[in-house]
Structure 1
Amino acid sequence: MRLFIIPISTRRALIYSRPLRKDVPKQLSWTDKITNKAAETWAKWEEADKGWKKNLVSWGNRVQQRIPYQEWGLKSIPSLNAQRRLDESHGSKKIDVLFPGNAINADKLESILRTMATERQDLHRKRMMWSFIAAPFTAPVALIPVIPNIPFFYLVYRGWSHWRALNGSKHLEFLVKNDLLNPVSFPGLEQLYAKRVSRALENIDRETPASSMVEDVEKSDDRILLRMKDAKKLATILEAPELALEAERAIIQVEEQLKTETPAQEASQKKDH
């Protein structure tokens, strides 16, 4: 596996794990089989012109867009046991962490990764348990003919999602604690972020050395770095097609958060004065 750290704004970043070729299992696990079957069913429902299937898909897609990008990122990291089944040497050698050295300070990368690994563990654990405990109480809905027990499947899905994210966070924590990460400032990412940082912070030349540029990033307030069109560029640069959707989701969420936070911060500053 290989990890990517993608700054979405000057203060927020997306983590994403891409499996290497040797990580691809010869046989799918039962969870993968179930997930693939669910994806196939969902794809068929998306083709419906109208009715409850069409409405369910529309609602489901909106729900998925609202799931925090941090959760999606952690879900991309396989559990430690799953990775060891794919690669017996995992845990005895370092794995690469690709990031743009002109947007993230390499000296602070370990701290950033530790925070990503630990800050949401309690949340995922609690919500996973709540989802699985609440799911059986939706059983009476199954008595309604034709329409499936949507509340049950939703709660099970959310419980599974939190379980995946929790396992991913524990795996990341293991890698950080055991010094098994090899930071690599990737040239392709540096080229992209040289343009994005100079645009976001203004008056900063894209030819500015990485060490100076990252200092300016750290001194700035929180500003969005990526645009929607950058998501596909990232996927191409890192040869990870699935990353495009994750990056788009993160960009949308961070933009909305910054729009909400800016008026609140301005109001707070006026109040202080």
Structure 2
Amino acid sequence: MRLFLLPISTRRSLLYCEKLHEKPASERNLLDKLTVKANETWAAWEKDEKAIGSWKKKVTYYGNQALKRIPYEEWGLKTIPALTARRKKAILEGREKYEVIFPGLYMREEKVPETLKKLALDRQAVHRRRLIWSIVIMPFTAPFMLVPVIPNLPFFYVLYRAFSHWKALSGSKHLEFLLKNNGLPTLNPSSVLDEVYTAGLMYPTREISRAAPRPTREEAEKVAKVVEQQTNGGTEDVMVLQRWNGKLIAEQFKLPDMEVEIERAVEQVEKSIKAKEELIEEKLELEKATQTEQTAKDVLPQDVVKAAHRADLVENEIHEKAEEVGKEKKETSRSAEDKVM
């Protein structure tokens, strides 16, 4: 079984498991048949223009938008098959062979075990909790069955989310069992991935990348070094994979389903990094505003400041006149005393 560990940025990676050979129809269990039927129905709805108000196309459009919001880590874990008793026995006996393919220039080999362990364990609690909640919510979607013509979409959505969380949880447990009982899978740094990653960073589009000569090893090493420098010693998260590059990677390994997974992961990580950068900029601007030394007068409107300044001048004039009057009184009293004497 081949596992692909694809860094999307310098801190986040997508795990993708190569699909096993499709079972013939005679060997499919009930779950396999339901999954195939659901996929066929969804694909038919996407093209159906005969429904009243094109409601089927609208449902699939908004449904696909909702699916884009599912974390790419969940999609990746779902590609790993469930851990059956037969697979457990094969892993324990060392008969099941696993290899991890990754771009060696863009992910250090010593980081692979830590990344795999993190992907296997970090989201188990999340998927277990959300699976339970999806099952709990299902009965409350029953009243929607009364809506005519349109099927009970809330029920099917909750059912799908329950299935999705179960698949991701099963995949994470499969990976965890493998790491605990059979050690680390065979690590296979791929020069092909290094070239495709480098081309994605060197060229702006897929078309130019196809027409350009393949990057040399020296060029790949230089680009990888530039990426490492941009992280500022690992403090910054830098994108290393382009969205349009997913198709090229999928073509290299003849795995068409991988393209969608890569594009979805890149889009989510790009948005996450952009949101974090905007938050940091807002924080810096706020800190600049609060760090400037300002008195109460500095933050008052200018007309108020001017009025206060005029009041100060008037007050000073009053004090000066009062002092002059006081001096005059003293001089008058002194002259009166001199006359008396």
Both structures adopt the same fold (TM-score exceeding 0.5): yes
Q: Is the 8 A contact 2:19 2:79 kept in 1?
A: no
**Cα deviations by residue, 1:58-87 (Å, 9 ceiling, x for unpaired):** 1111111111111100000011117729xx
Q: Is the 8 A contact 1:101 1:210 kept in 2?
A: no
Identity %: 41
2:141 aligned partner: 138
Structure 1 position 42, deviation (Å): 1.0
Gap change, CA 1:75 and 1:131, over 3 Å in 2: same
**Cα deviations by residue, 1:148-189 (Å, 9 ceiling, x for unpaired):** 111111101001000000000111111222214111101100
Say whether residues 1:25 and 2:28 are aligned partners.
no
Say whether residues 1:107 and 2:74 are aligned partners.
no
> What is the CA–CA distance in structure 1 between the aligned matches of 2:135 and 2:107, rounded to whole Å?
38
Structure 1 position 271, deviation (Å): 5.0
Gap change, CA 1:175 and 1:188, over 3 Å in 2: same
Q: Is the 8 A contact 2:127 2:168 kept in 1?
A: yes
Where structure 2 has 5 or more consecutive residues not aligned to the other structure, the ranges are 205-217, 289-341
Higher relative contact order (CA 8 A, sep 6+): 1
AA in 2 matched with 1:237: Q
* Residue of 182, 188, 195 corresponding to 2:186: 182
Q: Is the 8 A contact 2:243 2:263 kept in 1?
A: yes
* Residue of 262, 265, 276 corresponding to 1:250: 265
* Residue of 118, 122, 131 corresponding to 2:121: 118
Q: TM-score, normalised by structure 2?
A: 0.71
Q: TM-score, normalised by structure 1?
A: 0.88
Q: What is the DSSP-based 3-state SS (H/G/I as helix, E as strand, rest coil) of the residue aligned with 1:158?
A: helix
> What is the CA–CA distance in structure 1 between the aligned matches of 2:238 and 2:42, rounded to whole Å?
36
Say whether residues 1:81 and 2:96 are aligned partners.
no
Say whether residues 1:150 and 2:153 are aligned partners.
yes
> What is the CA–CA distance in structure 2 between the aligned matches of 1:260 and 1:239, rounded to whole Å?
34
2:162 aligned partner: 159
Moved more, 70-79 or 221-230: 221-230
Q: What is the DSSP-based 3-state SS (H/G/I as helix, E as strand, rest coil) of the residue aligned with 2:269?
A: helix
AA in 1 matched with 2:192: G
> What is the aligned residue count?
265
1:70 aligned partner: 73
Structure 1 position 25, deviation (Å): 3.4
> What is the CA–CA distance in structure 2 between the aligned matches of 1:208 and 1:77, rounded to whole Å?
32
Give 1 or 2 for the bigger CA radius of gyration. Answer: 2
Q: 1:191-270 to 2 correspondence within 5 Å?
A: 191-196=195-200, 206-208=219-221, 216=229, 219-220=233-234, 221-270=236-285
